[in-house]
Amino acid sequence: MMGRVTVAEQLFEQQCTKVVATAEGQVRHLGPGLVPDPTDSILAKLGEPSFAIHLAQAVGADEDVPNDVGLALRRAAQRLPHVLSDGREDPAEDGPVEGVFGPVVGDGALVICLDTDGAGAGPSMMSTMVRIVVEELTPLGVDAHVAAGPSFSDAMLAGWLPAE
């Protein structure tokens, strides 16, 4: 099986809703997945980090997700709370992630949302989290792309369920 797991460029910058000031002094909001212009100043990041894992074909329901992919993302979700602020993964310690929601089917992808109680996730922490997702998916030989996910919604509480 040959597959490739890719990661969106500037994934850290795409996370959350950003409040930015343009070079002209205008303040605007950029939603998840959008990157500020190089001349923009980020005034604040609102919300929690999330990942959208896009498979070769869009998924619209739990049954569209291969069980091995869903289970791999569950394993990744179980590892994410053990990523520390400095980017180390330590199974014996808890980092700033207080909760993980997902994987859940949403927006044509599998989504994993994090609750950091406002602590956010810096570049080192985000890099390790992405590495974990890639590590769990790579042995499966699937084509997948990891990008910034949507903001958390109550619909994400249900989570993906494997086919019986």
Q: What is the distance between the terminal CA atoms of the chain, rounded to a whole angstrom?
A: 24
| Residues paired with 28 in a beta bridge | 20
Contact between 52 and 150 under an 8 Å Cβ cutoff? The reply is yes
Report all structural domains of the chain as residue ranges with CATH numbers, in order of start.
5-12+47-150 (3.30.70)
- Burial class of residue 48 (count of CB atoms within 10 Å of its CB; 0-12, 13-18, 19+): buried
Question: pLDDT tens digits, residue range 107-156?
Answer: 899 999 999 877 677 888 889 999 999 999 999 999 999 999 887 777 66
Report which of residues 106 and 79 the model is more confident about.
79
**CA-to-CA dists, residue 162 to 61, 90, 91, angstroms:** 11, 28, 26
Question: pLDDT tens digits, residue range 69-79?
Answer: 999 999 999 99
Mean pLDDT of the 53-81 span? 95
Is the pLDDT confidence value at 1 over 70? no
